[in-house]
Each structure stands twice: as structure tokens, then as C-alpha cells.
Amino acid sequence: MARLADVARKAGVSVATASRALVRPEMVAERTRQRVRDAAIELGFRYHPSAQALATGRSRLLALLVPDLTNPFYAPIIAGAQRAAEESGNDLLVVVTEESPERERQLIDRLRDRVDGFLAIAPRGAGSLFTSLDVPLVLVDRRVRGVPSVVVDTPGGLAELGAHLAELGHRRIAYLGGPRGSWADPRRLEGLQRGLDHEVVAFGPLPPTFEAGSDIVDELLASECTAAVAYNSALFLGLLYRLAQLGVRVPESLSVCCADNLAGLGLAVPEATTLHVPAEEAGSSAVDMVLGFVDGRSPEPRNRSVAVQLVIGKTTAAPR
Amino acid sequence: MARLADVARKAGVSVATASRALVRPEMVAERTRQRVRDAAIELGFRYHPSAQALATGRSRLLALLVPDLTNPFYAPIIAGAQRAAEESGNDLLVVVTEESPERERQLIDRLRDRVDGFLAIAPRGAGSLFTSLDVPLVLVDRRVRGVPSVVVDTPGGLAELGAHLAELGHRRIAYLGGPRGSWADPRRLEGLQRGLDHEVVAFGPLPPTFEAGSDIVDELLASECTAAVAYNSALFLGLLYRLAQLGVRVPESLSVCCADNLAGLGLAVPEATTLHVPAEEAGSSAVDMVLGFVDGRSPEPRNRSVAVQLVIGKTTAAPR
DNA sequence: GTGAAGATTGCAAGCGCTTGCAGTGCAAGC
DNA sequence: GCTTGCACTGCAAGCGCTTGCAATCTTCAC
């Protein structure tokens, strides 16, 4: 394994100069810089990460706390974060928190010496955990006072979705809510309501699962709503499944839609009316933000929001 | 941040002794060891990971290559690997390969200086990529000559499943196959066949998606099979969904089952007949194995296998 | 009492890279 | 011709930890 010293020798300069030629090229004469670079390439030089980390105090490692990996909603966020990290020469430590605040705390504590900063997806639990940490951290899809964050503007999208349903002529609209304690859930309901003149019929809190979606169907049908909006894809799929089983036609007898889109789920129901969530963007934006904190710039704004897009599919139509 | 030097000073010993007291306690006198330990605790001492890594040449970091995060099948493997890593004081770099061999190669190259070893989930593509690497690597759920691995014995489970179906009286049994190029797919088919007297009716290759599962249903029904075994959960769910839509009763008109179980999918269809895959175990076993290679022990056997368990649910019954 | 094996400990040299500071050479300014 | 200033470069001191080797201290056996 070639070290910087080898490069330096080959280029006929000191290690110091070799180092500078690579990290602070403007401090080095053009000719020298070129010689060092050539030597580096020729020798296949690669930094020794620990050595560099020890000397600079930067590990070029970021940790991403994610509640659980089985929820396909997080996958694109992770992918986006990963890409952004990679592009900036960092790597990502993805760790599963199981939504346990205790574990979150533990993990942060365990990893804080190892990483330069944290991204945290923590849809539930007290936000206070993140409030007085002295490490760079940005919260994803959640807002807590005093903590930098990137959120997805699902409520905004739901307002649009509500308007769409209203326009189709729906007057009695159901919202199949998310899990108890969810930060996003009440905001989504509120968003949907914002787009509507009539009061939303809210069901829930519901676990965000296929089963819950299918179990709620009887109650939903009894409510005489003409349209239903599901908190997330799993719920939505359960709903669809049970409706199919009961022979309820979609969208003829009931319009249904979902507050996030299923892309990448591998379970895509084609042409459902959904909100397209630019989750990758949220992930990468969050990474940019922590990196900003890491090297001392104070990225503004400290609370970002990415817009969602209403995708009108074939599961919504005018009520009969 | 307390360094080892602080601990040493507080305990009244040299840094060398302090270090040894913590990593090679048997080399240090009982009394001293205790003093050092107390001092460390009192000061809240924690190793500086980069410093330790630089000195020892071990980063205590492992990389896990995973094809994609949206496939819930991988989640428990990751969880298991994560747990095992954590327990042994290591951390896990989870990286998504998108099943691109090129990217796999790149990632390995990019991370090899950073991590002590690799775990790779690479269900498709040429195995040769892994064959002549000079880093510790173990393949998960895939076997390639000359490469250490941990596989899940799904074929064995399928043989049991086949026997179960045969016993119920099924004679014409369909297998809804996995994706083209899958290493596991032909082995699963072969496993299923092993449990049966009659020739399996094989469909596929099929993409392992919900859609593919629902799309194949017409063809499946036309085949007059009385039972069907799906390659994986997504396919299985699609199948179930479409059958429900068509009003085909399960298991009365058709027995269906799945070669992996849905636990943790959040989409669990209760009481389906499936194979329970101890994926966590596979993950943790793989970690133990790489760690073995990392510190020079040569863990035996170099090719491990974890057994799956047949779970008889309510989606299989005797044919009419 | 004496020498030697054995048990503890400390010294100091790294691990590979960064960076403050000092030194060099050169062109411009007087 | 002799300062000055500037652009480069090199020296060497770390970053915090590990570890081979030497030094010291015990403990025994003779």
C-alpha cells in the first residue's frame, strides 16, 4: 500500500509538500503539484483513512439513525443520503434504532467519537432527545425546536390532494391515520383538512401496516365516506387488498389514495393516486446540511422543506 | 475528551501500562489494572477510534453490501449483522449495490482501506467478482467456489414444503420462480422438486415483485395446478391480491405458499403457509465469520448453512 | 547471601497524515 | 547593491494509541 511518503519520495519533495499538493493545491507551485499528482496516480496512492482522521479530527463518516429497515419509505431517504455522502467523500453508517429513544441515545453516545455528524429519522418519541446534543445532527422528516431539520411537505401535498378530491365532488372524506405518537400524523390530517370545506372523517391512530389497512375497511365502508386517504403505503395496500376481497370497486364505489407513493416498494399498484415524495432529495439535503455544520459553515436555512407532488392516478374518481 | 494519557496520569502509571491494563489485562498486576480501570471509568475515558485504528491497523468497521433496501427480505439479515457487529465492538457500514457488479467492485475498492472486512449479499451476477479478493469477505445467501459463505437452506425447507403439499394430496404443483440470473432460484425449484413425486410446473423467471405475482395469476389458473409456491413474499402478496380480486378462494380452490416468510414486512398476511427464514442468524453468523478471518483465526466451516422452518398456515389445504 | 528466572513497568519508536513555523530563493523597490 | 516581500518548501511536532525491548523489582533456589 503506497503511503504519502512514497509519493513524496517519487516526486522528489517532502511529505509536507506532497500532502499540501493534494489537499491545498493553491499553496504549491504548479510544477510541483503536477509532479506529486502524477506520482500519486502512478503509485496508486490512497489515503489511509484512520491516519487522516487522526490528524484532521474528521473521520469522514456520518451516521444515519433509521427506525427500521423494513419500512420501504426510508429506503430512498437512505439512498439519497448515501449518494450525497459518497459524492462528498464520506461514508454512511446506517443504524437501526427500532424507534427506541433509549437506543437512539445509546447509539449517538456510542458513535459520537466515530462519526463527524448524525442524521436522524425519528418519527416518534420525545424530540427533546435531540435538543441539547453537542454534535452536528439534522433531523429528517421531523421538526423539533432548536434542531436543524429537513422535512417533507406531505401536509402541503395533502392539501392539494384534498382539493383534488373536493373538485371531483367528494364531500365525505376519510383519513386513515398513522401510528400513535407520530409527529407527522396530525400534520397530515391538518394538511388534508386544509384543502377541504367539509370536516374530514378521521380514523385512527392506526399502526402503519397492511393488516391495519385491511382491518379498518368495514368501519370505513360503514362510515359512508366516498373517498379515503391512507397515511402510508402499507395501510393503503391493506385497504386495497380487503376492498378487492369484498368486491368493492375502486374507484367507482370508493376513491382511495395514499399520502406517500409506492415507488420502489416492489409492490407498486400501478396508477394509484398518491403523493410523490422526493425522499432521496430529503436524504441528500440532510447530508449536505450536516456536512455544513461539520466544517463550521452554518448552513441556512436550518430548517428545510422538500415539496411533494400530487400524482393523480386511477384510484380516484367522482363519487356516484 | 479524556485520553489515555489522562487516565495514565490519574492512575499514576505510564501510558503504555494504561493501554495494557485495558487491552491486555493479563500483562498487568492486579492492583495496577484496577487503578487504571477506576481512573478510566472516573474520567469517562473512551478510545479515540482513529487513533486506535491507526496504531492497530484495525478500524473495527465492517461493510455490508446489500442489493437494495426496499426488499424487506434483507432487513433482518442486516439487523442480525448489525447486532453481532455491535456486540463485538464493531460498526457496520451498510451500502447499497443496486445489484450492479460494477458498483460492487467499486464499493469494495473504495471501502477496503476503511473497513476490516466485507459481508456481501449478492444474489445475482457473476460470482467471480468475489473470488480473488485479498480482503476478508463472506458471502451471504449465496455460494461461490472458494469464497466463504453463509447460506439459508431454503431448498431444504422447500423440500419439506413439497412433502407437505404432496401429503395433502396435491399432484400438480406450480412454482412461481424468482428473477433471471438468481443464484437461489434454481436451487429452490430443485428443493421443492425433491419433496415431490410429480414434476413441478415452473413459471418464470419472474421479477420478485407484487405486480409480477398478480400478473401471473391468469396463467397460473389456466395451468390447473392445485397449489402454488411463490419464490418470495412480494410475488406471493401479488398473487394473493389478484386471487382475491378474482374471487378465487384460498385455500379451497387453490393452495398457496411462499418460500420466505413475511414477518417484519408490515404486510403480514396472517397464517400463510411459509418458510420461516432465520435471517438474523444468517447475518450474525456471517459477521462472526468475517471477524474470524480478520483476526487471523480461520473459522470453520468456511461454508455455513442455516436451517429454515416450515410454518403451516391456513393458505394450504387438500385439493378438491 | 547471590544469581537468575519471572513478573511488571516504562521508554520510545512508530502508525500515516497535517500544519504552524522557519528557511530558502527570487524579483521588485530603494 | 542591499533590503523587503512574497511564493514555495521543508522541519518537526503533533493527533492518541500500541508494542518491542530494555530496565527494574521480586521471588526463589542453591
Torsion from C-alpha of B289, B295, B296, B302, nearest 10 degrees = 0
How far apart are alpha carbons B275 and B307 in whole angstroms? Answer: 10
Q: Give percent helix, percent strand, percent coil of chain B, each to the nearest 5.
A: 45, 15, 40
**Pairwise pLDDT comparison (A21 vs A299), residue with the higher score:** A21
| Closest-CA distance of chain A to residue B94, Å | 6
Q: Which residues pair with B173 in a beta bridge?
A: B227
Q: Is B137 helix (H, G, I), strand (E, B) or coil?
A: strand
Identify residue A188 by its one-letter amino acid code.
Answer: R
| A89 close contact with B: CB closer than 8 A | no
| A92 close contact with B: CB closer than 8 A | yes
Mean of all residue pLDDT scores within chain A: 90
* B234/A267 touch (CB, cutoff 8 Å), yes or no: yes
Q: Which of these ranges, A131-140, B60-69, B121-130, has the smallest mean pLDDT? A: B121-130
- Which residue's C-alpha cell is 402541503? A156
User: Above pLDDT 90, what percent of chain B?
Assistant: 70
Strands (E), chain B: 61-66, 91-96, 117-121, 137-140, 149-153, 173-176, 201-203, 227-230, 255-258, 273-276, 303-307, 309-311
Angle at A152 between CA A80 and CA B97, to 5 degrees: 15
Q: What is the pLDDT of residue A73?
A: 79
Confidence of residue A264 (pLDDT cuts 50, 70, 90): very low
pLDDT > 50? residue A214:
yes
Torsions phi, psi for B137 (to 5 deg): -150, 135
Mean of all residue pLDDT scores within chain B: 90
Confidence of residue A296 (pLDDT cuts 50, 70, 90): confident
Q: Which nucleotides of C are covered by protein (CB under 7 A)?
A: 7-12, 14-20
Q: What is the pLDDT of residue B292?
A: 93
Confidence of residue B266 (pLDDT cuts 50, 70, 90): very low
HEC string for B23-79:
HCHHHCCHHHHHHHHHHHHHHCCCCCHHHHHHHHCCCCEEEEEECCCCCCCHHHHHH
How far apart are alpha carbons A87 and A84 in whole angstroms? Answer: 5
| Closest-CA distance of chain A to residue B11, Å | 23
CA atoms within 13 A on the CB side of B224: 1
pLDDT in tens, B66-76: 998 877 778 88
| B103 close contact with A: CB closer than 8 A | no
Please, is B98 exposed, middle or buried when counting C-beta atoms within 10 Å of its C-beta (0-12, 13-18, 19+)? exposed
How far apart are alpha carbons B91 and A117 in whole angstroms? Answer: 15
Q: What is the pLDDT of residue B265?
A: 44
| B135 close contact with A: CB closer than 8 A | no
Contact (Cβ atoms closer than 8 angstroms) between residue A64 and residue A32: no
A 10 A CB-CB count for B6 gives 16
The H-assigned helical ranges of chain A are 4-11, 15-23, 30-43, 49-56, 74-87, 101-111, 154-168, 184-194, 210-215, 217-222, 233-246, 279-294
Tell me the CA–C1' distance in angstroms for A313 and C9. 76
A240 contacts in chain B (CB < 8 Å)? 241
Torsions phi, psi for A61 (to 5 deg): -130, 135
* B78/A93 touch (CB, cutoff 8 Å), yes or no: no
What is the dihedral sign for C-alpha B264, B265, B269, B272?
Answer: negative
B114 contacts in chain A (CB < 8 Å)? 49, 91
pLDDT in tens, B226-247: 999 999 888 898 898 899 889 9
Strands of the A255-258 sheet, one edge to the other: A201-203, A173-176, A227-230, A255-258, A273-276, A309-311
Q: Which nucleotides of D are covered by protein (CB under 7 A)?
A: 7-12, 14-20
* B266/A48 touch (CB, cutoff 8 Å), yes or no: no
Q: What is the pLDDT of residue B71?
A: 74
- Which residue's C-alpha cell is 425433491? B194
* B47/A264 touch (CB, cutoff 8 Å), yes or no: no
B interface test, pick of A47, A78, A94 with most B CB neighbours within 10 Å: A94
pLDDT > 70? residue A268:
no
How far apart are alpha carbons B255 and B58 in whole angstroms? Answer: 52
B interface test, pick of A60, A88, A91, A267 with most B CB neighbours within 10 Å: A267
How far apart are alpha carbons A96 and B91 in whole angstroms? Answer: 12
Residue ranges of B 233-292 with Cβ closer than 8 A to chain A = 234, 237-238, 240-241, 244-245, 247, 264-270
Q: Is B96 helix (H, G, I), strand (E, B) or coil?
A: strand
pLDDT > 60? residue A266:
no
Contact (Cβ atoms closer than 8 angstroms) between residue A73 and residue A233: yes
Answer whether the bond into residue A205 is a cis peptide, omega within 30°.
yes
Q: What is the pLDDT of residue B75?
A: 86
Residue A41, CB, less than 7 Å from strand C?
A: no
How far apart are alpha carbons A198 and A186 in whole angstroms? Answer: 17
Instruction: Name the DSSP class of B154.
Output: H
How far apart are alpha carbons B101 and A230 in whole angstroms? Answer: 38
| Average pLDDT of span A96-109 | 91
Nearest residue to nucleotide D9, by CA–C1' distance, is: A17
Give the residue from B263, B72, B177 showing the smallest Cα distance to A264.
Answer: B72
Tell me the CA–C1' distance in angstroms for A72 and C16. 41
| Average pLDDT of span B41-67 | 95
A interface test, pick of B64, B70, B77, B211 with most A CB neighbours within 10 Å: B70
Tell me the CA–C1' distance in angstroms for B55 and D18. 6
Angle at A188 between CA A202 and CA B71, to 5 degrees: 105
| A71 close contact with B: CB closer than 8 A | yes
* A209/B266 touch (CB, cutoff 8 Å), yes or no: yes
pLDDT > 90? residue B1:
no
| B62 close contact with A: CB closer than 8 A | no
pLDDT in tens, B155-196: 999 999 999 999 999 999 999 999 988 888 999 999 999 999
pLDDT > 70? residue A115:
yes
A interface test, pick of B50, B64, B96 with most A CB neighbours within 10 Å: B50
Q: What is the DSSP string of A1-37?
A: ---HHHHHHHHTS-HHHHHHHHH-GGGS-HHHHHHHH
| A205 close contact with B: CB closer than 8 A | no
Q: What is the pLDDT of residue A153?
A: 94
Tell me the CA–C1' distance in angstroms for B36 and D15. 23
pLDDT > 70? residue A270:
no
- Which residue's C-alpha cell is 478510545? B47
Q: What is the pLDDT of residue B264?
A: 42
C-alpha distances in Å from residue A104, one per residue of A95, A111, A308, B204: 9, 11, 28, 43
pLDDT > 90? residue A128:
no
Q: What is the pLDDT of residue B272?
A: 87
The pTM of the full predicted model, rounded to 2 decimals, is: 0.82
pLDDT in tens, B271-309: 889 998 898 999 999 999 999 999 887 777 889 999 999
pLDDT in tens, A179-203: 988 888 999 999 999 999 999 999 9
pLDDT > 80? residue A76:
yes
Q: What is the pLDDT of residue A297?
A: 78
Torsions phi, psi for B74 (to 5 deg): -80, -25
Residue B50, CB, less than 7 Å from strand C?
A: no
Q: What is the pLDDT of residue B68?
A: 86
Contact (Cβ atoms closer than 8 angstroms) between residue A95 and residue A66: yes
Tell me the CA–C1' distance in angstroms for A30 and C27. 18
Q: What is the pLDDT of residue A265?
A: 44
How far apart are alpha carbons B3 and B198 in whole angstroms? Answer: 69
Tell me the CA–C1' distance in angstroms for B25 and C4. 26
Confidence of residue A123 (pLDDT cuts 50, 70, 90): confident
Identify residue B196 by its one-letter amino acid code.
Answer: L
Contact (Cβ atoms closer than 8 angstroms) between residue B315 and residue B272: yes
Tell me the CA–C1' distance in angstroms for A20 and C23. 18
Residues 6+ positions from A42 with CB-CB distance below 8 Å: A10
